[in-house]
Structure 1
Amino acid sequence: MDSEIFLSNMQQEDLEAAMDLKTAEGWNQTQADWELFLTQHPRLCLVAKAEGKTVGTVTAFAYEHKLAWIGMMLVNPLFRRKGISKRLMLELMDRLSFCPTIKLDATPAGQFVYEKLGFKKEYSLFRWIRKPVSLLPNNDLSPWVFKLGILELRDLLELDAQVFGANRELVLRHIWRSLPGGAFVCREQGGIKGFLLCRKGSRYIQLGPMVAENDTIAKALLHQALMQLGEKEAVLDMAANRSEMKTWLEQQGFEMQRELIRMYLHTNACAGIPEKYYLMAGPELG
């Protein structure tokens, strides 16, 4: 007889089990990431429970009440094929009825499932990974790349909101705090032409988000970050159509991994400026 499944709001005491589910999948999030979701949007963090334990999770982050991002869809392998992920999604979609645009990054296998729920494809991404490599440390910044301080983040908010499609100050500050030494900004003639933030995960450094006017600026920002990171393992998520950047990443020791499909529900009113959005913040943050 199948165990009865109950859905409820995520609580602080669920985080240990949520971390266990995440670790089993090899994902990179930290407990601080979970706490960001839970403290900012407690009604948008759900768990599925069976036999007295947490067996599934899903979260969402709402940007300005106009764009919501769904992530952290996890189900214990022993409880899959019981409709848990669908129930979690339907409940979360109902709670997000106030949001005109809902987005997520799906695996190719998950794309079909989400299409049945009404999601449409926006574009494809690829995850790239660089294994630990030996590099000589180089702390010299290019003439137009500067280290970014926490107080300067406010200078980026307008640019980021235009490119991403909504204001995400809380998320940018959260990412900066995880790795202040991995934050850079490109300034030319007094104006901001791009920036890169890096996040310290449980397994590796996540490069992104990164906004840039063009490939030259994107490469300069990434080069500086890679010099700072040295031998640390790093990953990034980049749109599939950037052929010149693909070649450059391969030259830096990156290898292409799995595909992700960026999808939206209802309208894509918060499309932003995809051609300037080089690296994503992560599948759970957009």
Structure 2
Amino acid sequence: MSEELTVRLMKREEVTLLVDWAAEEGWNPGLNDAEIFWNTDPEAFIAADVGTELIGGGAITSYGGEYGFMGFFIIRPEFRKRGYGNSLWQMRRDKMIARLSPGTVVGLDGVFEMRDFYARGGFVFSHRNLRFVYSSSSRKVSFHKNIIPADQISFDQLAQYDRTCFPASRDNFLQEWMSQHYSRAVGYVDDGHLEGYGVMRQCRKGFKIGPLFANNQQTAEVIYSYLVNSVAGTEVFLDVPENNPAAMSLVRQFGMKEIFGCARMYLGSTPKIMHDRVYGVTTFELG
């Protein structure tokens, strides 16, 4: 490296820049991602400088010190293959660990070609998360007696259900995620019991559904159908965990096309969540 790399906390406007860089990489971020991600954990965003120039960054999100997630790892193209990315990642990993309680699990979604690199940093492969795209041909007036707007469901009930599918409580994030502009959030309620929920947000291109959590494939199908039919004719993306066979069956049923994927890896033990309820992960950036 010709110049030393230094790291610091990002400023709010730099997170917007990081999201713009992610869009240039083809990650297709949501329209509200920068604001919501910042509000979730302002101390998560690490800036990488060479001299006075911002050359990259990444997130080390802490969920109450109970779970950590590393994402948004970007080095500007003109600064790659010079050792800066390796240094930034090592620094972020160490800072991530320092932000958490001892022994806390850290997750990440990394592109497949970086799997060996992350393994050298102590991360162990769990499964693949695969991105699929789908576009229905015509918009339908969709109704199902069990589908209810999320704002008509007790937040405590939603948060408790989410906790079965995610390794830590994330109430602040959920409140903003489910009420963001250009989005739709619904739950599947049967006899007063929440049996699944999904959020669809508008992105730079089309929409992404995430999370999509459900007790079973039939419930996931109803939630998914309701969401995609509301924006028919537009591409809808879903990031599906390959370790849930029912989720993979769902994408085959709808004829979705696989376009991208990441390796889910953990520093520490695989979290004890109900993996069979996860039909779509929330985001590759914050878990």
Q: Is this a same-fold pair by TM over 0.5?
A: yes
How far is the alpha carbon of 1:24 from its aligned partner? Answer: 1.6
Q: Partner of 2:281 in structure 1?
A: 280
Is contact 1:178-1:200 (8 Å) kept? Answer: no
From 118, 124, 134, the equivalent of 1:120 is: 124
Superposed CA deviations along residues 54-78 of structure 1, whole A, max 9, x for unmatched, are: 2111012211211011110011111
Is contact 2:150-2:178 (8 Å) kept? Answer: no
CA distance in 2, matches of 1:197, 1:63: 20
Q: Partner of 1:42 in structure 2?
A: 42
Distance 1:204 1:49, change over 3 A: farther
Q: Partner of 1:177 in structure 2?
A: 179
Q: Partner of 1:167 in structure 2?
A: 169
- Structure 1 vs Structure 2 CA RMSD: 2.3
May I ask how many residue pairs the two structures share in their alignment?
283
Please give the secondary structure, in 1, of the residue aligned with 2:145.
coil
* TM-score normalised according to structure 1 size: 0.89
How far is the alpha carbon of 1:149 from its aligned partner? Answer: 1.1
Superposed CA deviations along residues 113-132 of structure 1, whole A, max 9, x for unmatched, are: 100000011211111012x5
Q: One-letter code of the match for 2:277? A: K
* TM-score normalised according to structure 2 size: 0.89
CA distance in 2, matches of 1:31, 1:184: 19
Is contact 1:149-1:180 (8 Å) kept? Answer: no
Please give the secondary structure, in 2, of the residue aligned with 1:139.
coil
Distance 1:89 1:214, change over 3 A: same
Q: One-letter code of the match for 1:173? A: Q
Superposed CA deviations along residues 133-161 of structure 1, whole A, max 9, x for unmatched, are: 43133132x12222221763332111111
Q: Partner of 1:149 in structure 2?
A: 151
Question: Which ranges of structure 2 fall in alignment gaps of 5 or more residues?
Answer: none
Q: Equivalent pairs: percent with the same residue?
A: 21
From 117, 130, 134, the equivalent of 2:137 is: 134
Matched, 1:14 2:8: no
How far is the alpha carbon of 1:210 from its aligned partner? Answer: 1.4
Q: Partner of 1:271 in structure 2?
A: 272
Between 1:178-187 and 1:106-115, the stretch displaced more is: 178-187
Is contact 2:210-2:280 (8 Å) kept? Answer: yes
Please give the secondary structure, in 2, of the residue aligned with 1:163.
coil
Distance 1:174 1:186, change over 3 A: same
Question: Which ranges of structure 1 fall in alignment gaps of 5 or more residues?
Answer: none
